[in-house]
C-alpha cells in the first residue's frame, strides 16, 4: 500500500519532476505533484509525494523534514486524509 506525504515550503521553482527527483533516492515514487495556482500557473509552495511503502515514507520523512533545499527548510510529513 502506497503512503502519501505532504511536502511543504518547496522552492518556488519546483515542478513535479524536481519533486520526484528529490524523493526517488528514498524509494519507489508512485506519484509526485506540486500544487499550482490556478490563475498564475505558479507553484503554491507545497505538494504531495506517494512512496511505495511505509518504510520508504518514514525514511524520507526522517531525512528530508527540516532539511534545506534551495534556501528553504522543507516540511515533510504524512498527508492527512480529507
pLDDT at 65: 99
C-alpha cell at 29: 515514487
What are 16-64's pLDDT values in tens digits?
999 999 999 999 999 999 999 999 999 999 999 999 999 999 999 999 9
Which helix (H) or strand (E) is 23 found in, with range? Answer: helix 16-23
Which helix (H) or strand (E) is 6 found in, with range? Answer: strand 3-8
What is the chain's alpha carbon radius of gyration, rounded to the nearest angstrom?
12
Task: Tell me what the mean pLDDT of segment 66-82 comes to.
Answer: 92
Measure the CA–CA gap between 44 and 34, rounded to whole angstroms: 8
| Class of 3-78 in CATH | alpha beta
Predicted TM-score of the model (pTM): 0.93
pLDDT at 81: 72
Amino acid at each position: 500500500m502506497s503512503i502519501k506525504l505532504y511536502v511543504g515550503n518547496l522552492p518556488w521553482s519546483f515542478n513535479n519532476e524536481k519533486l520526484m527527483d528529490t524523493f526517488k533516492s528514498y524509494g519507489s515514487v508512485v506519484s509526485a505533484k506540486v500544487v499550482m495556482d490556478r490563475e498564475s500557473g505558479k507553484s503554491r509552495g507545497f505538494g504531495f509525494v506517494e512512496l511505495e511503502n511505509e518504510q520508504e515514507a518514514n525514511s524520507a520523512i526522517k531525512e528530508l523534514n527540516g532539511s534545506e533545499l534551495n534556501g528553504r527548510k522543507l516540511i515533510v510529513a504524512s498527508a492527512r486524509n480529507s
